[in-house]
Amino acid sequence: MNPLLTLLQINDSVFPIGGFTHSYGLETYITKEIVQDSKSAEEYAVTLLEHNFYYNDAAFFSKAWELCVKRASQKKIAELDALVTVLKAPYEIREASRKLGLRFLKLTEKLHPVKRCSTYLKAISSHTLHGHYAIAFAMYAQALNISYQDALSAFYYNALNGMVTNCAKLVPISQMDAQQILFKLQPVIDRLVAEQPHLSDDLIGNCCVAQDIRCMQHEKLYTRIYIS
């Protein structure tokens, strides 16, 4: 099994887990005309990566990876699952994480079963655990011998790609502008990936208040294209 090809497949934007149905509050920013052009779209993407994703999903990914490397007990995975559930305050974001994680685990179970992922899937299906995408992705990637740096870089890129793709559809911005943002922000992803292992546990889950508010407001938008 080729780790690179596996990573490309499971991180592909068309990997059928439903990622394209979520905007994670971006739809609210666009409705309120806070994000309204290529410049504001790029500013939004950088801010979200540096002040939200770094402290939340990327941090959850990193902790799950660490537990897998240490061959930690299922109890430790359950504790992390509970922590992530508590830290994802907006309902839509919490549900998005759960749904993507569940679909990811079900699909990868059919591609190439991994014991720890199968155990996690059973616990989610029996409602013992909530289930989260960042944990599931990290567990599967680590088991299939994908390097930490490559897996986390891809995880960041997937989040960024989702943002700019949604901006291209909703703002709208041109496909060229979207690609330029993706290319321009590569150094940002490289820096965050390098810094991720050094993030203090006390800062995990650090809240980006404005983002959480926009996610909550999304539930009551008059017109919604995205689930979150």
Mean pLDDT of 29-37: 94
Given a cut of 90, whether residue 20 has pLDDT beyond it is: no
Given a cut of 90, whether residue 225 has pLDDT beyond it is: no
| pLDDT per residue as tens digits for the range 172-218 | 999 999 999 999 999 999 999 999 999 999 999 998 888 899 999 99
Confidence class of residue 135 from pLDDT cuts 50, 70 and 90?
very high
Share above pLDDT 90 across residues of the chain, in percent, rounded to a whole number: 90
Question: What pLDDT is stored for residue 222 in this prediction?
Answer: 85
DSSP string across the chain: --HHHHHHHHT-TTSSSSGGG--TTHHHHHHTTSS-SHHHHHHHHHHHIIIIITTTHHHHHHHHHHHHHTT--HHHHHHHHHHHHHH--SHHHHHHHHHHHHHHHHHHHHHS--HHHHHHHHHHHTTSS---HHHHHHHHHHHTT--HHHHHHHHHHHHHHHHHHHHHHHS---HHHHHHHHHHTHHHHHHHHHHGGG--GGGTT---HHHHHHHHHHTT-SS-SS--
| pLDDT per residue as tens digits for the range 49-88 | 999 999 999 999 999 999 999 999 999 999 999 999 999 9
The Cα 222–Cα 228 span in angstroms is: 13
Given a cut of 90, whether residue 13 has pLDDT beyond it is: no
Mean pLDDT of 120-146: 97
Question: What pLDDT is stored for residue 171 in this prediction?
Answer: 94
Given a cut of 90, whether residue 158 has pLDDT beyond it is: yes
Domains of the chain: 20-218 (1.10.4190.10)
Question: What pLDDT is stored for residue 1 in this prediction?
Answer: 83
The Cα 98–Cα 201 span in angstroms is: 22
Question: What pLDDT is stored for residue 166 in this prediction?
Answer: 93
Question: What pLDDT is stored for residue 196 in this prediction?
Answer: 98
Confidence class of residue 227 from pLDDT cuts 50, 70 and 90?
confident
DSSP string across 66-125: HHHHTT--HHHHHHHHHHHHHH--SHHHHHHHHHHHHHHHHHHHHHS--HHHHHHHHHHH
Indicate the pTM of the whole model: 0.96
